[in-house]
Amino acid sequence: MSVLINEKTKVIVQGITGRDGSFHTKGMLDYGTQVVAGVTPGKGGANIFDVPVYDSVAEAKAATGADCSVIYVPAPFAVDAMYEALDSGVKLIVCITEGVPVNDMIELYAKIEASPARLIGPNCPGLISPGKSKVGILPGSIHKEGRIGLVSRSGTLTYQVVDHLTRAGIGQSTCIGIGGDPIIGTNFLDTLELFEADPDTDAVVMIGEIGGTDEQEAARFIKSSMKKPVVGFIAGRTAPPGKRMGHAGAIISGGGGTAQEKTEALQSANVPVAIIPSEIPGLLKTAMQR
């Protein structure tokens, strides 16, 4: 079993004829993902890598029965693309696009919450169930099939930690990059619930960063509701207050959201927190032996 996607997932690519969309479509196809359709308004009837292109997500879904859509369109059009995917009835929407306006996301988030659909992102690398399917931009070659779930606010750190895990012989069930924007569709708590319920995930690695309170809320859930071991890492230990570090949501303000605060919250939930990413495999092995 895997979380959210597997070898049967049928994927639509919104923005498939663009530079990023076409490049990453090829990567997903090469990995074995079932990319069944692409969408670019005005280019319906074309083909990209033998994938048929439609003018709308509704047309693509009706023709293919797709249950997932991944979005590679530019930021000014990304919110409309997410609304279109939501209106089509696909179950999983993955938005890779960076720079989506926060005000627009607030309204969209409310509609997503009131629907049966799930949004991953925006400003995220997507997700991968190694050996089964990948949706997004994660490099498939560094992943290894296994039983460790991984969730991260940082795309780059996802790749680094996965590489450490794989080199240590530790495979992954599903890796999910939730994105680092202030408003995202799926957060740590959501993914921890999924991993806790997955019979083929034995433990979880959670990669957080400064800003916001998602890690603290996750710590409370871990303490009260999780039986599976969790190992953490918090990026941005040296970030000065008031300065954004990388992601739009990675900013310490009003004395809250510091790496120390998040680390202490996780440690209070019996979550070992790595100081550097290379420590994670060792901490994970120890946690799973308890």
**Could you give the C-alpha distances from 36 to 22, 29, 63, 92, 176, in angstroms and in order?**
13, 10, 9, 15, 22
CA distances from 28 to 35, 65, 84, 93 (A): 7, 18, 22, 16
Confirm whether residue 18 is marked as ligand binding: yes
**Do the annotations mark residue 257 as ligand-binding?**
no
Angle at alpha carbon of residue 57, lines to 127 and 126, rounded to 5°: 10
Q: What angle do CA 4, 248, 98 make, to 5 degrees?
A: 55
| Amino acid code (one letter) for 127 | L
Q: Is 87 annotated as a binding residue?
A: no
- Contact predicate 88/57, CB 8 Å: yes
List the catalytic residue out of 24, 143, 164, 247. 247
262 is in an annotated binding site: no
223 is in an annotated binding site: no
9 is in an annotated binding site: no
Is residue 158 marked as binding?
no
Alpha-carbon distance of 243 to 237, in angstroms, equals: 12
- Region of 232 on the Ramachandran plot (φ > 0 left; ψ -120 to 50 alpha; else beta): beta
What is the b/e burial string over 47-85, where b = at least 16 CB atoms within 10 angstroms of the residue's CB?
A: ebeebbbbebbbbbbeebebbbbbbbbeeebbbebbbbb
Catalytic residue status for 247: yes
31 is in an annotated binding site: no
Rounded CA Rg of the chain: 18
Classify burial at 6, counting beta carbons within 10 Å of its beta carbon; exposed 0-12, middle 13-18, buried 19 or more.
middle
Q: Is 159 annotated as a binding residue?
A: yes
**How many residues can be counted in the chain?**
290
Q: Which residues are annotated as part of the binding site?
A: 17-20, 43, 96-98, 159
Q: Which residues are annotated as part of the binding site for CoA?
A: 17-20, 43, 96-98
- Catalytic residue annotation: 247
Q: Which residues are annotated as part of the binding site for substrate?
A: 159
